[in-house]
Amino acid sequence: MGKERLQRYSLAGPENRAAMEAGLAGADWFRSDVPRKRMKELMRRSDYPAIRDTVIWLGLILLFGGLAIAFWGTWWALPFFLVYGTLYGSTSDSRWHETGHGTAFKTRWLDEGLYQLASFMIMRDPTVWRWSHARHHTDTLVLGRDPEIAAMRPARLARLIANFAGLVDVPTAFRLMFRHAAGRLTPDEADFVPEPERHKVYRAARIDLASYAVTIALAIGLRSWLPVLLIGGPRLYGAWLLNIYALTQHAGLGENVLDHRLNTRTVKMCAVNRFLYWNMNYHVEHHMFPLVPYYRLAALHEEIKHDCAPVYRSIWAAYREIVPAILRQLRDEEYYVRRELLPGAAPLHVPAPLNDGRGLPLTAVTAA
Amino acid sequence: MAEWVAACAIDDIDPEDVIPFGHAGRAYAIYRSPDDTYHATDGHCTHEQTLLCDGLVENGVIECPKHNGRFDYTSGKALGAPVLVDLRTYPVRVIDGTVYIDVA
């Protein structure tokens, strides 16, 4: 039974068409009412915050990478590698995300430059993932449509846990690099990457593979793991924090609900985590208004929080919900965390079997 | 043959902003540049039919509120993924404080 349900997440399967026919694909999603004048203030771009944060971020990477090299051969290198690897292998995700939306910088080439760098670090093809993420925003947690559902029902628990050390993402990334370099996409990718964009995918894969080939050649030539620990390797040993953050976004919540207040979490985080995650913890706000840059999401949160479900007070509070939900979904595939809106919040779509969060088979629901 | 339709008054739009306009079942977006020139395009993004009037107008560009697709609103040119198809533009003229667009 579990295997059958997992097949429904495939974009190349029948669930994709069923979602389109049921009106779940490309549907109207709830958005809070924010006055246009205020929205214009919130959407406004500025180079300063992103330049400041990027200088600090790259500075920290260079500092800790330099210290790791300086102490190479001693145990003292270990903590420096841990920090370097985490900055490289985890926090590149949020840089990839914000620049992918094009909201981080006012100056386009700065945005695009950081997007290309972060895509390389996080091992995501910049073109495929730009389109994949656009689809994720169109059809968030819609079965057969969203290519970025991290925790399926039932969860593939071993993969989720292994991925805290990048053991799923990295082999997948290399498999895709070889496939793309050969001029081919997966059937899922072919569903959302338009034909005129595909040549960029193939070119980037060849460049990435060449980069990693040089790194490995250097490691062999120097008879040292150091080059691999500095380039590529952090995506394994530094991936833990990426997964801690990422699972807070949607794991355990309702599928096919067409309301980001019900399938997305906003989690309060401390200043350090907000810097590392570039405020992606304000995830309901981001999904509802993707044009708002990360440095104004806290202000947007103040505008719409009355209209949402309660925020999670901490990462710990989110995980107290996520872990039991994922474990229960192993036994009960229709179980999901039902979020209750605050009193007075604008009403959501009228719940129906089609979009009540359980993600029931659409063929059965529409027939009934 | 031209079909000029009154879309709005010039002061209905703030400088560097956009408003929606509907005519004969079709959606349009009317823009005012910082130099007080007026422009008109189709109202929906060419990517996934999102209304552009909720988007961001900055430096001659309209950015779609859903997926951040960007168009030059003076020419309609699509400026990169996820928008690949240009936006249709419409001739505009201003007479006695009213913005007219040619919807033909």
CATH class of B4-102: mainly beta
Q: Is the pLDDT of residue A364 over 70?
A: no
Does A94 score more than 80 pLDDT?
A: yes
Q: Which of B66, B68, B81 sits opposite A131 (nearest CB)?
A: B81
Paired with B95 in beta bridges are B98
- What are the C-alpha distances in Å from A254 to residues A3, A270, A288, A330, A358? 19, 27, 16, 15, 6
| B interface residues, A as partner, C-beta within 8 Å | 17, 47-49, 54-56, 58, 63, 65-68, 70, 81-82, 84
Which of A106, A131, A290 lies at the smallest CB-CB distance from B66? A290
User: Is the pLDDT reported for residue A9 higher than 80?
Assistant: yes
Q: In the predicted model, what is the mean pLDDT of residues A198-206?
A: 98
pLDDT of residue A356: 77
- At residue A230, the pLDDT reads 98
Q: How far is B67 from chain A (nearest CA, A)?
A: 6
Minimal CA separation from A146 to chain B, in Å:
14
Residue B14 to residue A157: CA distance in whole angstroms: 53
**Beta-carbon count within 10 A of A130 CB:** 25
With CA atoms as reference, the chain B residue closest to A107 would be B59
B64 Cβ neighbours under 8 A, 6+ residues apart: B45, B47, B50, B52, B55, B70, B71, B83
Q: How many CB pairs under 8 A join A and B?
A: 44
Which chain B residues are closer than 8 Å to A134 by Cβ? 47, 67, 82
Q: How far is B3 from chain A (nearest CA, A)?
A: 30
What local confidence, expressed as pLDDT, does residue A357 receive? 81
How many Cα neighbours within 13 Å face the side chain of A312? 24
Interatomic CA distance for residues B16 and A45, integer angstroms: 14
What would the DSSP string read from start to end of B18-64? EEEEEETTEEEEEEE-TTS-EEEEESB-TTT--BGGGSEEETTEEE-
Neighbour-count burial of A108, counting CB atoms closer than 10 A to its CB (0-12 exposed, 13-18 middle, 19+ buried): middle
- Residues in chain A closer than 8 A to B49 (CB atoms): 26
- How much is the average pLDDT of A322-342? 95
Q: In chain B, what residues touch A130 (CB-CB under 8 Å)?
A: 81-82
Which of B56, B81, B82 is the closest to A291 by Cβ?
A: B56
Residues on chain B touching A138 (C-beta within 8 angstroms): 48, 66-67
Contact between residue A124 and residue A204 where contact means Cβ atoms under 8 Å apart:
no
Q: Is residue A153 predicted with pLDDT exceeding 60? A: yes
Give the end-to-end CA distance of chain B in Å, rounded to a whole number: 7
In this complex, the residue of A40, A103, A194 whose CB is nearest that of residue B84 is A194
A86 vs A206: CA distance, rounded Å: 26
Per-residue confidence (pLDDT) for residue A6, from 0 to 100: 84
Block mean pLDDT (10 aa), chain B, length 104: 94 96 96 97 94 96 96 97 96 97 94
Measure B4 CA to nearest chain A CA, in Å: 28
CA distance A53 to B69: 25
* Sign of the torsion formed by the C-alpha atoms of A360, A363, A364 and A366: positive
pLDDT for A350: 60
pLDDT digits (tens, 9 = 90+) for A260-275: 999 999 999 999 999 9
Cis omega (within 30 of 0) for bond into B34: no
Of A31, A32, A40, which to mutate for an interface test with B (greatest number of B Cβ within 10 Å)?
A40
**Which of A30, A36, A107 to probe by mutation at the B interface, max B CB count within 10 Å?**
A36
- Contact: B68, A289; criterion CB under 8 Å: no
**Tokens encoding A237:** 């040993």
Model pTM score: 0.94
The answer to whether A96 and A88 are in contact (CB under 8 A) is: no
Mean pLDDT of chain A: 95
Please give, rounded to a whole number of angstroms, the shortest distance from the CA of B95 to a CA of chain A.
27
Nearest chain B CA: its distance from A268 CA (Å):
25
What pLDDT score was predicted for residue A366?
62
Look at residue A174 and tell me whether its pLDDT is greater than 80. yes
CA A291 to chain B, closest CA, distance in angstroms equals: 6
Average pLDDT over residues A274-293: 98
**Is the pLDDT assigned to residue A1 strictly greater than 60?**
no
Is the pLDDT at A368 greater than 90? The verdict is no
User: If you average pLDDT over residues A292-311, what whole number do you get?
Assistant: 97
ipTM for the predicted complex comes to 0.92
**Is B65's CB within 8 Å of A290's CB?**
yes
A104-113 tens-digit pLDDT: 999 999 999 9
Residue of A nearest to B16 (CA): A40
Biggest alpha carbon distance in chain A? 67
- pLDDT for residue A351 is more than 70: no
- Residue A212: name the closest of A235, A189, A196, A238 by CA: A235
SS3 content of chain B, % helix, strand, coil (to 5): 5, 50, 45
pLDDT attached to residue A275: 98
What are the residue ranges spanned by the domains of chain B? 4-102
Nearest CA in chain B to A196: B84
8 A C-beta contact, residue A287 and residue A264? yes
Residue A105: predicted pLDDT: 97
Residues in A touching B67 (Cβ below 8 Å): 134, 137-138, 290
pLDDT of residue B32: 97
Nearest CA in chain B to A98: B68
Which chain B residues are Cβ-neighbours of A32 within 8 angstroms?
A: none
**Beta carbons of B63 and B69 less than 8 angstroms apart:** yes
What CA–CA distance (Å, rounded) separates A230 from A68? 9
- Which pLDDT score is estimated for A139? 96
Instruction: Round to whole Å and give the CA distance between A100 and B73.
Output: 22
